[in-house]
Structure 1
């Protein structure tokens, strides 16, 4: 069943029942394979050693078969990998691997929405009803009461469709197509979680609606707009929105899920990603995500007014200092300052990315989701913060 793992965390993780159809594979503790360096000078030894140790922990103690970190600054980039892409063949993780990035998709979706706002084709403070008349209705939910801005910031009170998606429906047919309107209707069969604008709670439903607005306003599909507005201008060769295609193009690790502690790993690589859609359906690579985040913070994708709006945050209520803007979150760095990014979970995979205004970016990706505990998510976040500190 898809759900968000934490209040902020990312989001689209299929919680796999032990009886899920597919290959049942033995659990493995993978050994670190070391770093694969790219252009530039060597990183500071202490930072790279700490990052390498965290990747090793992800692929041993935490149980992920493989892990990848792509780290860059204004002068160099480097890729470190640990473990394996396939627990049967023991193939190492490819440096250009593509992963399902789950809720990292939201940052791409919000960027396109803000581009449309900058073009005056949408108004962030207009009600959803203006763009999707009659769509948000029922059980106390109404598109006249919810603004685009609230929807993008998770302050809309919209119920999250992932809270009501039946696990057996996904498990029974992982290749099934999920229409975003049907998923929205599933959510709207339940009352709002709060009055719009009065609180914060993560909801994937709002981002399905954002994808529908993009298509309505532009007259093109979400995937076409993603290519036109972000992928082609930034030359993101490993990024795609696959629609109904269950395959991951290009080099990629197999995706695994672990239903419980010491349970066998399940190969869940092939799944119809329409269950994520504009909230979590994109495929990308560490290199592409870092390039995207660098361009976003560098003002290459949004006008200054829209970038400022995207980065106008509100606290999420957690103890770690996180705050959420429009499809983008910020968090304090241990040594001072803040970084910007997002996290993402999808069946078989988990990703996190962060960037700073001084030109540093880091993306960490693993091919296990969900794992047996939250330790994996914690160590991914620690790796991001180590890389950016």
Structure 2
């Protein structure tokens, strides 16, 4: 009883109304207990791989027009981009073109000698120690940095050439600059611009059609949700210079995110060894593996190891929770700056209901 009251409290904190009742029994039970999900956004529930996905959408994708959020509305997904980038790197590993434990200077010899202490694994786990030159540039001249047209390869040399500030692998530093360097490595090895490389390595093989990279035309793109502050009084959008594509400028839908996860964990997109790398925690205090977090949720027969990929960019708050063992999934996409802690609590409660009911 106490558990149900706690779950109800998490839901009431977010408000909203229910979507169409699903046909899948486990999904029906979960939605039956959660009569609301997001104030503004999209919720996807799936009890297991092969079962029906239940999608609820509410609120406004665009307040000025107005335009309602729908199941297929596209959202910027923030740092979920890092996980998609990591999948691309692991495809290159499977092709024998990348070794996670080789120095990054092997792939980017133009970097200074001190960078040879850093491996690709350090970049993907945010433990490189390379100073966050991009963050420093934003402090010095935000407008010029945000409006920059530098590619990842160009940005890597300008912002990622500092000597490590701590011994690589010993500390966690959630740095944009790590991912500018990752983007540069992908470009160097594929001979493609970063965005095209991700399409070729991940998006096209996964068969998704509503996922890509946002640019200056994002606000006029069909089916794109814009982001607002909590009061819905003004837009809350962030700049998206090309060099940060690897860390945060992907847009997607709830269904596409689950489709990519299915391709990764249940398809042939990656080898078993590379899938294991995605689930191996590199920094225990942060539950951080490669490109995202990994957590154990639930208890007893309902316990699952899940990928827990959250994203923030402007007023977009997004979360992909996915259990590789059976494909149970919860996706929450919000465009009115919901508190991440509320989003996380709701996701835990929803996943618990799905696992208990299935």
Normalised to the residue count of structure 1, the TM-score between the two structures is 0.76
* Change in CA separation of 1:166 and 1:191 when aligned onto 2, cut-off 3 Å: same
Contact 2:104–2:115 (8 Å) recurs in 1: yes
1:385: which partner in 2? 351
Aligned mate of 1:353, from 309, 314, 320: 320
Indicate conservation of the 8 Å contact 2:160/2:178, yes or no: no
1:79-125, CA deviations, whole angstroms, 9 ceiling, x for partnerless residues?
A: 01232223344532111010111110111111111111111111111
Contact 2:107/2:185 (CA < 8 Å) preserved in 1? yes
Q: For 1:1-389, what aligned pairs fall within 5 Å after superposition? A: 32-36=16-20, 40-53=23-36, 55=37, 58-59=38-39, 66-72=40-46, 73=48, 74-135=50-111, 137=112, 142-161=114-133, 163-166=135-138, 169-170=141-142, 176-180=148-152, 183-184=155-156, 187-188=159-160, 192-243=164-215, 245-247=217-219, 249-257=221-229, 265-269=233-237, 271-274=239-242, 276-318=244-286, 323-335=287-299, 336-356=303-323, 357-369=325-337, 373-379=339-345, 381-382=347-348, 385-386=351-352, 388-389=354-355
* Partners of 2:21 and 2:31 within 8 A in 1: no
Tell me which residue corresponds to 1:4: none
Instruction: Identify if the C-alpha distance between structure 1 residues 334 and 146 changes in structure 2 by more than 3 Å, giving closer, same or farther.
Output: same
Unmatched 5+ residue regions in structure 1? Answer: 1-28, 60-65
Q: Decide whether the 8 Å contact of 2:160 with 2:180 is kept in 1.
A: no
Name the one with the larger strand percent: 1
Change (3 A) 1:378 1:310: closer
How far apart, CA to CA, are the structure 2 residues paired with 1:150 and 1:246?
32
1:241·1:281 contact (CA, 8 Å) conserved in 2? yes
* Structure 1 residue 284, shift from structure 2 partner: 0.7
Q: Distance in 1 between matches of 2:34 and 2:179?
A: 33
Number of matched residues? 337
Residue 33 of structure 1: how far off its partner (Å): 4.2
Match of 2:277, SS state, is: helix
Say which structure is richer in helix: 2
Q: TM-score, normalised by structure 2?
A: 0.82
SS of equivalent to 2:30: helix
Q: Which residue of 2 aligns with 1:24?
A: none
Alpha-carbon distance in structure 2 between the residues aligned to 1:161 and 1:385: 38
